[in-house]
Amino acid sequence: MLDRQVTLSQLKAFEAVARLGSHTAAARELFITQPAISKKIRMLQEEIGLPLIDQVGRSQYLTEAGQMLLEVCSDWLGVWGRFEQSVADLKGVKRGRLRIAVVTTSGYFMPRLLGPFCAEFPGVDVSMEVLNRDRVLGRLSRNEDDLYVMGLPPDDIEVDCRPLVENPLVVVGSSKHPWTRRTSIPMSWLAKEQFLVRERGSGTRIAMEQRFAEMGVELRVRMVLGSTEAIKQAVAGGLGLAILSRHAINPLSGGRGLVELPVAGFPLRRSWYLVTPQGKRPSVVAQAFLQFIDEHLEMIEP
């Protein structure tokens, strides 16, 4: 009986009329005509065998059966709505766009995740911007991407952030540097060395300057270079020392001619963070990527 004839669209029409108190308002909300609403409710009443709505003058009242059906409808339509959302979400992962912006140094490991992620979700179109911290923050403040990776989350933009993996900053020298034979080097010796540093706005540079200031050691800048790769080449060529993320000098990142020097006070222990604007609900594709990262963290450990 009931289960054969009552349709979802009849229940939606009834719920809208009961909630809004008028056929006209319900018709407007559901994008159908008023006679179509009346017909659905008439058929629903016939199926149930009791009146659901009483018309007194121009006002409408729910009958007792109508009250009971409204409760059931509200619960059931809520469950149905969540089901429809989940189905849409499942479809969403098949197709969609993922926008990520990462700071320069995380460009050494984040792209490694993209190959297997795209293989698992071939319909997803991924773009990854690799920029310095300042420019990533600019994109974050304009809400241009689904998620961001950086070593130093902002304190002037409301964000949700969670630690990803370690980001140790180490002192790097040429493999021909005389300190490579030492087992430990006092931090104060750094004051005698020349450094190759990243441009202003770089997170690595901010962390490095903070550590030198904390330790009361003067930072002597030999040259400012806007790229970590250029710094690595200059250090390997014997132009000076640098403070770099261990991610940038590991064998996968091409650390030829470079060594990590055992300076006291280093590595500078930091983390990489996954950052999103506070309260931003991640898209289905972004959620799939976040879960993918959780399951493949070993691929990006330093």
Residues of the shown chain interacting with ligand PGA in the complex, contacts defined by CB under 6 A: 103-105, 132-133, 150-152, 167, 198, 202-204
Other beta carbons within 10 angstroms of residue 130's beta carbon come to 18
Measured from the CB atom, the residue of 20 and 161 that comes closer to ligand PGA is 161
| Encoded tokens for 53 | 């709505």
Phi, psi dihedral angles at 291 (to 5 degrees)? -65, -40
Q: Which C-beta is closer to ligand PGA: that of 167 or that of 253?
A: 167
36/234 with CB nearer ligand PGA: 234
Distance CA 26, CA 33 (A): 9
Two tokens at 51?
């009146």
SS3 of 196, please? strand
The Cα 232–Cα 174 span in angstroms is: 9
Q: How far is the CB of 134 from ligand PGA (least distance, A)?
A: 7
Helix intervals (H) in the chain: 2-5, 8-20, 23-30, 34-48, 64-94, 110-120, 133-141, 203-215, 228-236, 246-249, 284-295
The residue (of 203 and 240) whose beta carbon lies closer to ligand PGA is 203
Shortest distance in whole angstroms from residue 159 CB to ligand PGA: 14
Rounded least distance, CB 267 to ligand PGA, Å: 12
Comparison of 73 and 130: residue with beta carbon closer to ligand PGA:
130
Query: Are 234 and 149 within 8 A, CB to CB?
Result: no
Residue closest to ligand PGA (Cβ): 203
Taking Cα atoms as reference points, which of 103, 17, 109, 29 lies closest to residue 63?
17
Torsion of CA 87, 92, 94, 99, to 10 degrees: -160
| Between 135 and 220, CB nearer to ligand PGA | 135
State how far the Cα of 199 lies from the Cα of 236, in Å rounded to an integer.
19
Compare residues 15 and 260 and give the one whose CB is closer to ligand PGA: 260
Contacts of 2 (CB under 8 A, 6+ apart): 47, 48
CB within 8 Å of 89: residues ≥ 6 apart: 284
